[in-house]
């Protein structure tokens, strides 16, 4: 039996082609804040996340964006640092987003930020200094973040030189 081709068939065919060409997804332009952060130190011995001036300025943050944070911090060199304030921000790791409280300081560091135990715990992550990797469970898989050996050396040299 022969089938007759109708105008409805033509509309359905065009609709199917249009639907097949649509992609539901996200690109780098869709990132929260759209700011890719580099030179981050993962410090599993620290109890707070710290943000340094390069990142603070890169995110275009203002003093009015910060909430008060009264407790002084002790730097790696043993100096007391008075924070400018605190801000809660999302950190996107792959498809996972975790909000953490950053303590904002106005002091030099070769790093833009330090992420610490609160971020590691919220992500359910483990960190190996030997392997320079963070591994965390996500979507039924174990995902990983690899450190950059060259950048780590450059930051260490910069920190020692100060």
Whether residue 11 is contained in a domain is answered as no
User: What's the domain range around 42?
Assistant: 37-161
Whether residue 24 is contained in a domain is answered as no
Whether residue 23 is contained in a domain is answered as no
The model's pLDDT over 86-124, given as tens digits with 9 standing for 90+, comes to 999 988 888 888 899 999 998 888 888 889 999 999 989
Whether residue 27 is contained in a domain is answered as no
Supply the pTM of this predicted model. 0.70
Count of domains for the chain? 1
Whether residue 4 is contained in a domain is answered as no
> With contact defined as beta carbons under 8 Å apart, do 78 and 100 qualify?
no
Whether residue 12 is contained in a domain is answered as no
Tokens of 107: 């002091």
The model's pLDDT over 66-88, given as tens digits with 9 standing for 90+, comes to 999 989 888 777 888 899 999 99
> With contact defined as beta carbons under 8 Å apart, do 101 and 88 qualify?
yes
């Amino acid at each position: 039996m022969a089938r007759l081709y109708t105008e409805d068939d033509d509309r359905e065919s065009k609709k199917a082609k249009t639907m097949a060409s649509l992609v539901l997804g996200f690109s780098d332009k869709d990132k929260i804040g759209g700011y890719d952060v580099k030179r981050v130190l993962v410090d599993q011995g620290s109890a707070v996340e710290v943000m340094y001036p390069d990142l603070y300025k890169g995110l275009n943050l203002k003093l009015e964006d910060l909430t008060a944070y009264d407790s002084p911090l002790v730097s790696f060199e043993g100096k007391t640092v008075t924070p400018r304030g605190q801000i809660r921000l999302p950190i996107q790791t792959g498809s996972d987003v975790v909000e953490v409280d950053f303590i904002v300081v106005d002091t030099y560091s070769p790093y833009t930020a330090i992420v610490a135990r609160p971020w590691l715990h919220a992500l359910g992550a483990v960190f190996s200094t030997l392997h320079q990797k963070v591994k965390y469970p996500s979507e039924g898989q174990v995902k990983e973040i690899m450190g950059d050996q060259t950048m780590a050396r450059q930051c260490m040299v910069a920190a020692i030189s100060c």
